[in-house]
């Protein structure tokens, strides 16, 4: 496939024509290199690293696979055939609807957040697929998922992943340039899923949980990824929700999307208009995002 002179973006990084040609050359000169080794080598050559200094291996693998599917490069065959994971569509007794639970938020005993691990991952996926109006979809990039417990009872779920590549209201509110956004976007984390289970009736629980997670997430994120994010964002479908719980938790509404999706590409088709909400996790978040 003939390469255009226009830079192409994969996994949040722009690749020039010369860089893609360089990747082709690596593959041709090292035919026995497997996909994982190729990803490491590309990251090292282009110094593509996470904020903690480690290689952006998984992002690079996604980028290389997209180049392969678009015919720009030819990857070596995979070492193993991986069956697609569909843990979200299973149905278990634990995920069945429960009896109605009503209480006052200040009366809840042992209200706590627990990070989802490998053992509990499938249950989180099942709950989201069954009871969230958007259903289950893998969270992009770096991510954290939480169960919310009252004693031994699961009452809510939250999921955080990579920030939107660009969105006018957020970017204007931050005040960063295109280059600053590309360099520092990892400092923003997106609240992609928030579900209070439908049989839970506790007034003000949503805003309480948003306040709790804003205090908990930075340290949890740093333990997993080696750096602390400085800003949370979320997108609330305007025709469905007013964002009351975010406002009550001191999030700021900075405007509305144009219906282009998280990648900001009008060619991907129109999506519902959403209000954009943000919550700073550090006093000098603009300094860090705009440096």
3-state secondary structure 220-239: HHHHHHCCCCCEEEEEEECC
CA distances from 168 to 94, 151, 180, 184, 191 (A): 41, 42, 14, 16, 18
- Tokens standing for residue 258: 């144009």
Rounded Cα gap, residues 253 and 246, in angstroms: 9
Rounded Cα gap, residues 50 and 12, in angstroms: 12
Q: Which is it for strands 200-203 and 101-104: parallel, antiparallel or unpaired?
A: parallel
Q: Is the pLDDT of residue 133 over 80?
A: yes
CATH architecture of 88-289: 3-Layer(aba) Sandwich (3.40)
| pLDDT at site 271 | 78
| pLDDT at site 262 | 54
Contacts of 156 (CB under 8 A, 6+ apart): 147, 148, 194, 195, 196, 197, 200, 205, 206, 209
Percent of the chain with pLDDT over 70: 91
Contacts of 74 (CB under 8 A, 6+ apart): 27, 68
pLDDT band at 87; cut points 50, 70, 90: low
Residue of higher predicted confidence among 197 and 11: 197
Rounded Cα gap, residues 135 and 132, in angstroms: 5
Q: Is the pLDDT of residue 266 over 80?
A: no
The SS3 assignment for 203 reads strand
In the sheet where 188-196 sits, what is the strand order? Answer: 111-115, 144-150, 153-162, 188-196, 231-237, 274-280, 252-256
Torsion angles phi and psi, residue 69, rounded to 5: -70, -25
Least confident of 10-24, 74-88, 247-261: 74-88
pLDDT tens digits, 207-220 = 999 999 999 999 99
Say if pTM beats, i.e. exceeds, 0.85.
Answer: no
Mean residue pLDDT of the chain comes to 90
Beta strands in the chain (DSSP E): 8-10, 13-15, 101-104, 111-115, 144-150, 153-162, 188-196, 200-203, 231-237, 252-256, 274-280
| pLDDT at site 31 | 82
DSSP 132: S
pLDDT band at 141; cut points 50, 70, 90: confident
Decide if 101 contacts 149 (C-beta within 8 A).
no
Rounded Cα gap, residues 7 and 138, in angstroms: 27
Q: Where are the domains of the chain?
A: 8-69, 88-289
Angle between helices 35-45 and 57-69 (to 10 degrees): 110
């Amino acid at each position: 496939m003939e390469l255009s002179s226009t830079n192409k973006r994969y996994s949040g990084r722009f690749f020039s024509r010369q860089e893609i040609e360089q990747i082709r050359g690596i593959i041709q000169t090292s035919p026995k290199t497997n996909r994982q080794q190729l990803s490491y080598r590309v990251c090292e050559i282009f110094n593509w690293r996470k904020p903690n200094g480690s290689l952006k291996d998984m992002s690079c693998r996604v980028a290389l696979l997209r180049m392969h599917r678009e015919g720009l490069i030819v990857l070596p065959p995979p070492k193993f055939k991986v069956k697609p994971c569909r843990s979200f569509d299973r149905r278990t007794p634990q995920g069945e609807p429960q009896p109605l639970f009503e209480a006052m938020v200040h009366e809840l005993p042992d209200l706590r957040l627990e990070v989802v691990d490998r053992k509990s991952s499938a249950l989180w996926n099942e709950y989201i697929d069954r009871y969230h109006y958007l259903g289950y979809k893998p969270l992009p990039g770096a991510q954290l998922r939480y169960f919310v417990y009252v004693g031994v009872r699961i009452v809510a779920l939250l999921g955080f992943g990579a920030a939107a590549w660009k969105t006018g209201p957020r970017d204007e509110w931050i005040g960063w340039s295109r280059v600053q956004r590309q360099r520092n976007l990892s400092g923003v984390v997106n609240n992609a899923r928030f579900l209070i289970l439908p049989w839970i009736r506790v007034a003000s629980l949503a805003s309480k949980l948003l306040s709790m997670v804003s205090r908990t997430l930075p340290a949890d994120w740093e333990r997993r990824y080696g750096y602390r994010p400085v800003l949370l964002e979320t997108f609330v479908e305007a025709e469905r929700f007013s964002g009351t719980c975010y406002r009550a938790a001191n999030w700021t509404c900075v405007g509305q999307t144009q219906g282009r999706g998280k990648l900001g590409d009008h060619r991907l088709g129109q999506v519902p208009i959403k209000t954009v909400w943000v919550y700073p996790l550090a006093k000098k978040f603009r300094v860090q995002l705009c440096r």
